[in-house]
Amino acid sequence: MRNVFAERGGQSARDANILQRSPNLRNHPHMYEVDHFDLAIMRALEREGRLSNTALAERVGLSPSACSRRLDRLEKEGAIKGYYARLSHRHLGRPVTVLVNIALSGQSERHLSEFEAAARRCPNVLFCFLMSGEYDYLLRVAARDLQDFERIHKTVLSAFPHVARLNSSFALREVVDRPVRSSDFLEDDD
Beta-carbon contacts of residue 136 (< 8 Å; ≥ 6 apart): 102, 103, 104, 107, 112, 115, 130
Q: Are 102 and 156 in contact (CB under 8 A)?
A: no
CA nearest 141: which of 97, 171, 102?
97
Under the banding of pLDDT at 50, 70 and 90, the label for residue 83 is confident
CATH 3.30.470.20 fits 4-84, yes or no: no
- Region 168-190: mean pLDDT is 77
DSSP H or E run through 126: strand 125-130
pLDDT exceeds cutoff 60 at 88: yes
Q: Average pLDDT, whole number, for the chain? A: 85
Cα–Cα distance measured from residue 121 to residue 139, given in angstroms and rounded to the nearest whole number: 13
**Architecture in CATH for domain 96-170:** 2-Layer Sandwich (3.30)
Cα–Cα distance measured from residue 139 to residue 130, given in angstroms and rounded to the nearest whole number: 9
Domain residue extents for the chain: 4-84, 96-170
User: For the chain, what percent of residues have pLDDT higher than 90?
Assistant: 63
Q: Please list, residue by residue across 132-141, b when 16 or more beta carbons sit within 10 angstroms of its beta carbon and e when fewer do.
A: eeebbbbbbb
- Strands of 68-124, DSSP E: 96-104
User: For the chain, what percent of residues have pLDDT higher than 70?
Assistant: 79
Q: What pLDDT sits at residue 32?
A: 61
